[in-house]
Structure 1
Amino acid sequence: MGESVYTLPAMPTARQAGCPFDPPKELVEAREHGPISRFVFPDGHEGWVVTGYDLLRSVLADSRFSSRKEFMRHHPLIDFGEIEVPPALPGEFLLMDDPQHSRYRKPLAGKFTVRRMRQLTERIEQVTAEHLDAMEKAGPPTDLVTAFAKPIPAIMICELLGVPYADRDSFQGDVEKFMDGETPDEELIAAYASVRTYLAELVAAKRADPTDDVLSDLIEGDLTDEELRGVSLILLAAGLDTTANMLALGTFALLRNPAQLAALRADPSLTEKAVEELLRYLTVGKTFMRTALEDVELGGQRVAAGSMVILSYNTANRDPERFSDPHVLDLRRQDGGHLAFGHGIHQCLGQQLARIEMRVAFAALVKRFPTLRLAVPAEEVVVRPETADVFGVKSLPVAWD
């Protein structure tokens, strides 16, 4: 066991020129050798990269693989040296295992059910229409990121949490800094501290004067102010960044696949499938990591206790053993079941909100602007680096007749 396995020479930091939607070629090549590859981290730690769909899904469901922050001692691009990684701060449940993880997630689960999110549809439609009206009034060209993709999910997560949308300039830029993969360390630390300070003030305000929102509901439980600040940070960052990048990058992908865009425009009932296919095809939350708590046999290899495993979600969602013609965007695809929202106990809490936001926004956008097109050559659209936590475009100049 473990004799013949491919070694990924380095973790890619960029995508192929002209292929912004495809996973880095190095990861695709690794998956072609098998669902698991060796990888030597910059500090010399011998770890693994999982690129196959079935194997990645199995890791996400396996409690022998930990999400705990203090076990993430190795970085795929940086040598940390002898730095000790501290445990997650109170409330930062994405970086915890059960039972600590469930303590935070359970009170939230009922706030993000399918039924509750569907009740928000009318409000999402209203917000979307308002931004399309503003785009139409201003006229082309416009940057779809700032005019459409960012504000819709930002308004919705702010309203859900009870964050005054008028305060968004106080935190949105800071959130983007610690998600974009390019911010210098000093600025990163300052941005993180700034958001936490803002959320501490918000929690105090909600405790003094609760309103009708998720954060005020959580205050009625047993979470401390510090825990509420951590939970709020996770929800705010995820709600602001992931859907915004899916809306912008998804529109870019549709504009580069005119036959698929025409099919969506001709048949609005295709919207739900279109959203699922865009989630699979783009997978903006690209990679996550786990640490083996004990020796585990994985894909025919012995993963030793303490070994770190990089999970390549976007490569798994392009696995030809799971999806036919995986590198093709097909809005009528029958083989669904992507991993864009993860799997297991850490599966994305806000996935139903994201789905409804995307269904409403994409349907309304293609209906309102039937001649929507890129306002610059596709090669000039600047994408986030592969080092960003969430992949996307920095801006998307568009025009219409």
Structure 2
Amino acid sequence: MALPLQHQRRRLDPAPEFQDLQEHGPLHEYDAEPGMDGRRQWLVTGFDEVREILGDHERFSSMRPVEDEADRAKLPGILQAYDPPEHTRLRRTVAPAYSARRMARLLPRIEEIVEEGLDDFASRGAPADFVRHAAWPIPAVIACEFLGVPRDDQAELSRMIRDTRESRLPRQRVASGMAVVDYTHRLVAGKRREPGDGMLSALVQEHGDRVGDDELAGLAEASLTMATEQMAAQLSTAMLLLMTHPGQMALLGERPELIDGAIEEVLRFASVVEAPSPRVALTDVTVAGRLIRAGEVVTCSMLAINRVRGDRFDITREKTTHLAFGHGIHHCIGAPLVRLEMRVILPAVVRRFPSLRLAVPEEELRFKPGRPAPFAIEELPVEW
């Protein structure tokens, strides 16, 4: 089945059709997203136009269109499913959990988790699948720690989160997904009775009377799955980029102070979120000289705007401009945690495995398109 254009890649690179489109303007009418009730659809491939649309929540809604409001899927706690004022209320309650102070407090535990995870990875011996044995389990434990999941529960919950996406058995994926949902509801009930550490406890203590249990459970589930799944995808692509650019990997080992630039270059060059949720025009609006009518659907392509034809991966790039985390009120709230994890994990891997390399020819690697999950590498066999 053909993928919609916004999900088409040539391995890590956007499909050449993106550059062809950009040469004909930043806004293009197309019809590739199912379930939009025949609404006219637009694909946006211009950087300025994407910023304009994502930053304009008054004229563009992130809520998926339905003919009857009673049919709208209820996704308590999922920020992308809200428009203001409910989005404003909920995001304000969550944002302090990602403050610089709380990230700094979490840092020592992240460092411990990373070292323990890499110890386990190394103990398996080469070759080993970096995706299964490092990229998934390390972020999963960090997500549990961030949320405040008791340590005795972290290993089993991490396995369930991975199985929701990685299990080859559809029945197992569904069962694991339901188990995660059930666990988050029990976790919220426990935090209501006896708050401890972590994001959920902070929300209960500081905003408990303004956030319902369903919203808290939704926030917990979204934080666990997204922080694990998207981080696993981004970490795997980061390591593939470094291994296939050994000069850049060696440079990062020699000059660890380049890590912040390396992170931004990874996010720009291989964004795992290829397009944020489609936006629906709330009124007639003109973008790039084209009239988008109320009710029409707009999809913004991160693949198109973060890359230019013929560019290269360069961790020394002086100015890295990208929208990998989106823009506007729906800018990824977890971005500080993603950057913090990568700031710890990437240098640790390079330091401990300086000769890390692919154990199979690069052309044998398989990739999973980013719908609805993030774009990801299925397996990444490595040796050292």
TM-score between both structures, scaled by the size of structure 1 = 0.85
Residue aligning to 2:307? 318
Is the contact between residue 6 and residue 275 of structure 2 (CA under 8 Å) also seen in structure 1?
A: no
Per-residue Cα deviation, 1:273-307 (whole angstroms, up to 9, x for no partner): 00110000011111121111001101111011001
For 2:93 and 2:69, how far apart are their aligned partners in 1? 34
Residue number among 20, 41, 45 corresponding to 1:51 in the alignment: 45
CA contact (8 A) 2:141 2:155 kept: no
Q: How far does the alpha carbon of each residue in 1:63-100 deviate from its partner, in whole angstroms, 9 at most, with x for none?
A: 2110123x268xxxxxxxx9985143322222111110
Decide whether the 8 Å contact of 2:131 with 2:379 is kept in 1: yes
**Cα 1:172–1:228, aligned 2, differ >3 Å: closer, same or farther?**
same
Q: Once the two structures are superposed, what CA deviation does each residue of 1:229-249 show, in whole Å capped at 9, x if it has no partner?
A: 111122112211111111111
CA contact (8 A) 2:141 2:158 kept: no
Q: Per the alignment, do residues 159 and 97 of structure 1 end up closer, same or farther by CA in structure 2, a change over 3 Å counting? A: same
Q: For 2:38 and 2:267, how far apart are their aligned partners in 1?
A: 34
> What TM-score do you get using the length of structure 2 for normalisation?
0.89
Secondary structure of 1:119's counterpart equals helix
Given the superposition, is the C-alpha separation of residues 301 and 180 from structure 1 closer, same or farther in structure 2, using an over 3 Å criterion? Answer: farther
Give the one of 261, 270, 275 matched to 1:282.
270
CA 136–181 in structure 1, closer or farther in 2 if over 3 Å, else same? closer
Q: Percent identity between the aligned chains?
A: 38
Checking the alignment, whether the CA contact within 8 Å between 1:180 and 1:389 is kept in structure 2 is no
Rounded to whole Å, the distance in 1 between the matches of 2:12 and 2:3 is: 20
CA contact (8 A) 2:326 2:332 kept: yes
**1:340 Cα deviation from its structure 2 partner:** 0.7
Which residue of 2 is the match for residue 219 of structure 1? Answer: 204
Structure 2: distance between partners of 1:367 and 1:113: 28
Among 223, 237, 240, which residue is 1:235 paired with? 223
Question: Is 1:88–1:96's contact at 8 Å kept on the other side of the alignment?
Answer: no
Query: Residue 292 of structure 2: which of 273, 282, 303 is its match?
Result: 303
Q: Kindly state the Cα deviation for residue 332 of structure 1 after the two structures are TM-superposed.
A: 1.0
1:108 matched to 2:94? The reply is: yes
Deviation track 1:337-387 (CA, whole Å, cap 9, x = no partner) reads: 310111111111111111011011110111111111001111122211243
Structure 1 pair 175–315 and aligned structure 2 pair: CA distance change class (3 A):
farther
User: Match of 1:309, SS?
Assistant: strand
The corresponding residue for 1:344 is 328
Cα contact 1:34–1:52 (8 A) shared by 2: yes
Q: Residue 272 of structure 2 contacts residue 370 of structure 2 at CA under 8 Å; is this kept in 1?
A: no
Check whether the contact 2:136–2:162 (CA below 8 A) recurs between aligned residues. no
Match in the other structure for 1:377: 361
Deviation at 1:31, TM superposition (A): 2.6
Q: Does 1:60 align with 2:51?
A: no
Q: Which blocks of at least 5 consecutive residues in structure 1 are unaligned?
A: 1-8, 74-81
CA RMSD between the two structures: 2.7
Q: Alpha carbons of 1:164 and 1:23: their partners in 2 closer, same or farther (altered >3 Å)?
A: farther
For the residues of structure 2 that align with 1:141 and 1:245, how far apart are their CA atoms? 20
Q: What's the CA shift for 1:166? A: 4.5
1:291 paired to 2:280 = yes
Provide the rounded CA distance (Å) in 1 between the counterparts of 2:265 and 2:180: 33
Q: For the Cα contact (< 8 Å) 1:180–1:390, is it kept in 2?
A: no
> Given residue 62 of structure 1, which amino acid in structure 2 is its aligned partner?
D
CA displacement at 1:121 relative to structure 2: 2.2
Alpha-carbon deviation of 1:171?
Answer: 4.8
Number of residue pairs the alignment of both structures matches: 375
Which residue, out of 10, 15, 25, partners 1:34? 25
Query: Does the alignment pair 1:160 with 2:153?
Result: no
Q: Distance in 2 between matches of 1:180 and 1:30?
A: 34
| 8 Å CA contact retained: 2:103, 2:336 | yes
Once structures 1 and 2 are overlaid, which stretch shifts more, 193-202 or 341-350? Answer: 193-202
1:178–1:188 CA contact under 8 A, matched in 2: yes
Distance 1:93 1:244 in 2: 21
Residue of structure 1 in register with 2:191 after alignment: 206
Q: Which SS does the other structure have where 1:163 is aligned? A: coil
SS in 2 for 1:33: coil
| Partner secondary structure for residue 312 of structure 2 | coil
Indicate if the aligned counterparts of 2:366 and 2:378 stay in contact, CA closer than 8 A: yes
Alpha carbons 1:53, 1:319 under 8 Å: kept? no
Change (3 A) 1:181 1:348: farther
- Please say if residues 167 and 173 of structure 2, whose CA atoms lie closer than 8 Å, have aligned partners that are also in contact: no
Answering whether residue 250 of structure 2 is matched by residue 262 of structure 1, we say yes
* Aligned partner letter, 1:112: Y
| Separation in structure 2 between the aligned mates of residue 207 and residue 381 of structure 1, nearest angstrom | 45
Distance in 1, matches of 2:51 and 2:166, equals 26
User: Is residue 357–residue 382 contact of structure 2 (8 Å, CA) maintained in 1?
Assistant: yes
1:49 alignment partner, SS class:
strand
* Residues 353 and 38 (structure 1), Cα distance of their counterparts in 2 relative to 1, 3 Å cut: same
CA distance in 1: counterparts of 2:130 and 2:363, whole angstroms: 17
Contact 2:325-2:331 at 8 Å conserved across structures = yes
8 Å CA contact 2:137, 2:158 repeated in 1 = no
Q: Name the aligned partner's letter for residue 102 of structure 2.
A: R
Q: 1:141 aligns with which of 94, 102, 127?
A: 127
Which one-letter code corresponds to 1:93 in the other structure?
L
